[in-house]
């Protein structure tokens, strides 16, 4: 086994902000900034610290004052309907505030209450709602499923409703707030109301309450003559900022006062299944601001999901504490050396390969091509694709955009013509390009033929061995000696149909096999066994034979990869080429009938191998444990050729990741297929549809059989919010879904493929 590098080192060039980085589906936070204010506590001999997360410029901070405030004007607030479906209300401006126009009769919002808040809010629960009446005549409010009270609305009037209960209904952790609107029958299609904010508190409601909405809290103020972005909070107010907290980080904040007197702010750390940690206190005044830094170690050793809480515990009446540019900072990384452009970039995408089966990752297969690349290049041990559809994952590799943003969430969608690919960028720079495909999911009807100088598909029913794409690619390389080239091969890999001969089958397990799993028609037969109800019986013996045929196919494809590596060397490209090898999807070894397409996005199917070789750039024999994704491939291919990636491309250049690995658990990665979402962030995995969800901690239970939502409310709220942000961002990406036009040729190929 190869020795892993230190994957806990943060990548500061492409560091994800604690709350501003949104995973692969959104642009990264960009280069970490150096700032004089970020050097609190650094000795003159130390290099300036860099900003990992600027808390005052993020949307993942919530605010409160003697209880949480639900700011309906903020897009980060997650709302659901009566059947727990996600809601996306229209937001409008009125009288200097942002209201959400509610058209559903029932809205449900979740919010987090810390243990300290629960202990402080001991009086009967109460809710204040600032809204503008529309069709609804009244509304009933529920906390955690129990009725709190009701309030009337007046059409066109902005008012603050006071709803008070008779008992304490708040719990430490996640809480549900439900509002049910009552309307006349004919008005059910109209807007119910427009909501500005809801304040959850206890006891008497302050009729002059100044809600700490983001619009009111975020201000520009002078700190000893220097203008800074700041949070302005009254006594009892707080900011709670959630996200991934990296190892070796510290929280810094400058505290001053406006309105007179001294103020004091506590800096706290909140985590699931752990007591709150008081990191320290900062005191300041209008004339003497104070900036301090507090280390998050050892509380976040290895990095974790959590929250930083900045709470004002002392301020004079009418005064506000100013929290100047609170941020998470890290030690700087070493400078990345310059990289020379290579002559050739090669991407080989195998079909349906489990990294655990390969010798390079601890298995037994792939001892020729895969193992050679692993010895001579860098292996990425935590690679994840964004779909279980081969068409979607390869599209992500070629466009640098997630399947949802290019509208390829189902198996009948094609690559939109409006989306820029690596082939477009390479051809504009005078690079010759070619795509050789042995998978019908990347055939011309699926939109993969455009922009390539050479496009050559191989139908599965006409290529028994499945190695024709490699043979054609080798001939293409030989015909283009000396030219700059971008070559992509989408190989059959381990996906059926298979080409094992009768003699080879005799040596395969099970020893005595009497089933009818014919290699040539295996995909079609297994597709029938996968249907509900099954059209044929798939026995344990059939399953054993299927995995044996799959292994034999991977071995044969690995030999073809080895021949391609020889061809690169023989054409003079060996030491001037980047070669990247991966798989479109993994293998669900627990599936009753394996090797299907578009199945539920489980970690086994989303985890794929990734190996990159580029002499002088990617260290030989290195293993990087950082989180990588299919969208990283596009930037890496263009970067190897010395080309800048288009602005729409997401992800990271793997060369940067290998030089200074990203924090292993610090990147959120979203997979979407057929309306089901799988979000991996840190050690947590959120599996969600519009109407149900589950959360597991892979570090505790890799098989994800236990739903940890009840015990990890903070992580759950963060995962839900991140998922909503990713879905919203990708929905606004601009591409339109284009359906595949199925003709007789494609229909025959898909039938042989098992679709």
Secondary element (H or E) of residue 314 = strand 304-314
pLDDT tens digits, 689-728: 877 899 999 988 888 889 999 999 999 999 998 998 888 7
Q: Which domains does the chain have, with CATH numbers?
A: 23-60+213-330 (2.60.120), 70-201 (2.60.120.260), 344-490+497-507+557-592+599-753 (3.40.720.10), 508-547 (no CATH)
What is the pLDDT, as a whole number, of residue 691? 78
pLDDT tens digits, 241-263: 999 998 889 999 999 999 989 99
pLDDT tens digits, 9-22: 333 333 343 333 33
pLDDT tens digits, 649-689: 999 999 989 987 654 457 899 999 998 999 999 899 999 98
Whole-angstrom Cα distance, residue 240 to residue 721? 14
Q: Are 300 and 18 in contact (CB under 8 A)?
A: no
Residue whose tokens read 């900034």:
33
Secondary element (H or E) of residue 656 = helix 654-659
Please provide residue 120's backbone torsions phi and psi, each rounded to the nearest 5 degrees. Answer: -80, -30
What is the pLDDT, as a whole number, of residue 25? 31
What is the pLDDT, as a whole number, of residue 661? 64
pLDDT tens digits, 130-189: 999 999 999 999 999 999 999 999 999 999 999 999 999 999 999 999 999 998 877 667
* Range name among 14-18, 166-170, 321-325, 590-594 with the lowest pLDDT average: 14-18
β-partners of residue 627 are: 382
The upper half-sphere exposure of residue 436, i.e. CA atoms within 13 Å in the direction of its Cβ, equals: 22
What is the pLDDT, as a whole number, of residue 75? 80
Q: Go through 125-145 and write b for each residue having 16 or more CB atoms within 10 A of its CB, e for each that does not.
A: bbbbbbbbbbbbeebbbbbee
pLDDT at 339 over 90: no
CB atoms within 10 A of CB 707: 14
Please provide residue 106's backbone torsions phi and psi, each rounded to the nearest 5 degrees. Answer: -130, 130
What is the pLDDT, as a whole number, of residue 298? 87
pTM score, whole prediction: 0.89
pLDDT at 439 over 60: yes
- 302 burial type by CB count under 10 A (0-12 exposed, 13-18 middle, 19+ buried): middle
What is the pLDDT, as a whole number, of residue 219? 97
pLDDT at 227 over 90: yes
Average per-residue pLDDT in the chain?
90
The upper half-sphere exposure of residue 559, i.e. CA atoms within 13 Å in the direction of its Cβ, equals: 9
pLDDT tens digits, 456-473: 999 998 898 999 999 999
pLDDT tens digits, 386-402: 999 999 999 999 999 99
Angle formed at CA 191 by CA 185 and CA 192, multiple of 5 degrees: 70
- Order of strands, sheet of 79-80, starting from the edge strand that comes earlier in the sequence: 86-87, 79-80, 106-113, 173-182, 138-143, 146-152
Strands 485-490 and 344-350, by their bridges, are parallel
SS (H, E, C) 133-175: ECCCCEEEEEECCEEEEEEECCECCEEEEEEECCCCCCCCEEE
pLDDT band at 505 (very low <50, low <70, confident <90, very high): very high
pLDDT at 4 over 80: no
- 204 burial type by CB count under 10 A (0-12 exposed, 13-18 middle, 19+ buried): exposed
Instruction: Provide the Cα torsion 108, 109, 110, 111; round to 10°.
Output: -150
330 alpha carbon, distance to own chain's centre? 22
What is the pLDDT, as a whole number, of residue 727? 80
β-partners of residue 283 are: 264
- 513 burial type by CB count under 10 A (0-12 exposed, 13-18 middle, 19+ buried): middle
pLDDT at 115 over 60: yes
Selection from 676, 672, 680 nearest residue 733 by Cα: 672
Task: Please indicate whether residue 631 or residue 76 has the higher confidence score (pLDDT).
Answer: 631
Whole-angstrom Cα distance, residue 380 to residue 609? 7
């Amino acid at each position: 086994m190869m020795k892993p590098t230190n994957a806990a080192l943060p990548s500061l060039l492409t560091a994800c902000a604690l709350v501003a980085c949104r995973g692969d589906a959104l642009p990264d936070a960009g280069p970490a900034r150096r700032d004089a204010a970020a050097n609190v506590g650094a000795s003159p001999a130390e290099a300036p610290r860099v900003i990992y997360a600027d808390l005052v410029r993020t949307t993942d901070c919530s605010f409160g004052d003697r209880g949480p405030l639900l700011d309906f004007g903020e897009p980060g607030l997650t709302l659901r309907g009566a059947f727990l479906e996600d809601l996306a209300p229209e937001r409008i401006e009125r009288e200097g505030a942002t209201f959400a126009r509610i058209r559903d009769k029932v809205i449900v919002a979740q919010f987090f209450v810390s243990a300290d808040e629960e202990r402080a809010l001991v009086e009967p629960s109460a809710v204040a709602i600032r809204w503008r009446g529309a069709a609804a005549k009244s509304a009933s409010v529920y906390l955690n499923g129990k009725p709190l009270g009701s309030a009337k609305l007046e059409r066109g009037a902005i008012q603050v409703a006071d709803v008070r209960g008779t008992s304490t209904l708040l719990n430490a952790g996640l809480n549900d707030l439900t509002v049910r609107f009552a309307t006349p029958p004919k008005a059910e299609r109209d807007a119910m109301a427009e909501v500005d904010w809801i304040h959850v508190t206890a006891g008497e409601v302050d009729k002059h309450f100044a809600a700490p909405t983001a619009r009111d809290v975020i201000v520009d103020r002078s700190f000893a003559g220097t203008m800074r972005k700041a949070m302005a909070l009254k006594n009892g107010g707080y900011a709670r900022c959630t996200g991934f907290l990296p190892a070796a980080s510290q929280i810094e904040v400058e505290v001053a006062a406006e309105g007179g007197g001294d103020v004091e702010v506590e800096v706290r750390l909140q985590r699931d299944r752990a007591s709150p940690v008081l990191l320290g206190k900062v005191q300041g005044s209008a004339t003497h601001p104070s900036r301090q830094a507090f280390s998050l170690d050892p509380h976040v050793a290895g990095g974790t999901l959590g929250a930083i809480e900045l709470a004002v515990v002392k301020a004079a009446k009418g005064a506000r504490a100013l929290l100047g540019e609170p941020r998470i900072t890290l030690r700087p990384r070493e400078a990345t050396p310059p990289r020379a452009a290579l002559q050739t970039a090669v991407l080989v995408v195998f079909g349906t390969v489990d990294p655990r089966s390969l010798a390079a990752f601890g298995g037994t297969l792939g001892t020729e091509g895969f193992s050679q690349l692993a010895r001579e290049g860098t292996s990425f041990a935590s690679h994840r694709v964004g779909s279980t559809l081969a068409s979607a994952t390869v599209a992500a590799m070629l466009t640098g955009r997630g399947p949802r943003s290019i509208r390829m969430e189902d198996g009948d969608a094609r690559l939109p013509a409006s989306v820029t690919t690596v082939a477009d960028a390479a051809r504009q720079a005078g690079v010759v390009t070619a795509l050789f495909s042995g998978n019908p999911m990347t055939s011309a009807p699926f939109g993969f033929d455009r922009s390539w100088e050479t496009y050559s598909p191989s139908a599965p029913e006409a290529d028994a061995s499945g190695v024709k794409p490699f043979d054609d690619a080798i001939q293409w390389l030989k015909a283009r000696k000396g030219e700059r080239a971008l070559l992509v091969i989408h190989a059959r890999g381990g996906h059926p149909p298979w080409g094992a001969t009768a003699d080879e089958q005799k040596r395969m397990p099970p020893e005595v096999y009497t089933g009818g799993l014919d290699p040539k028609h295996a995909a079609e037969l297994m597709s029938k066994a996968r249907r509900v109800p099954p059209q044929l019986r798939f026995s344990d013996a059939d399953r054993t034979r299927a995995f044996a045929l799959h292994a034999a196919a991977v071995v044969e494809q690995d030999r073809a990869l080895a021949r391609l590596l020889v061809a690169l060397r023989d054409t003079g490209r060996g030491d001037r080429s980047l070669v990247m090898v991966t798989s479109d999807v993994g293998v669900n070894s627990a599936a009753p009938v394996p090797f299907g397409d578009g199945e539920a996005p489980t970690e086994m199917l989303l985890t794929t191998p990734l190996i990159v070789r580029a002499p002088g750039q990617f260290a030989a024999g290195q293993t990087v444990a950082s989180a990588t994704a299919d969208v990283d491939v596009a930037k890496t291919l263009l970067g190897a050729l010395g080309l800048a990636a288009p602005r729409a491309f997401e992800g990271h250049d793997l060369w940067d990741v290998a030089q200074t690995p990203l924090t292993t658990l610090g990147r959120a990665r979203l997979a979407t297929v057929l309306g089901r979402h799988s979000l991996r962030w840190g050690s947590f995995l959120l599996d969600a549809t519009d109407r149900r969800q589950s959360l597991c901690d892979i570090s505790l239970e890799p098989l994800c059989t236990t739903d940890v939502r009840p015990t990890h409310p903070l992580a759950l709220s963060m995962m839900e919010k991140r998922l909503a942000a990713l879905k919203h961002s990708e929905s606004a990406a601009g591409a339109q879904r284009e359906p595949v036009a199925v003709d007789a040729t494609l229909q025959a190929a898909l039938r042989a493929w098992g679709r």
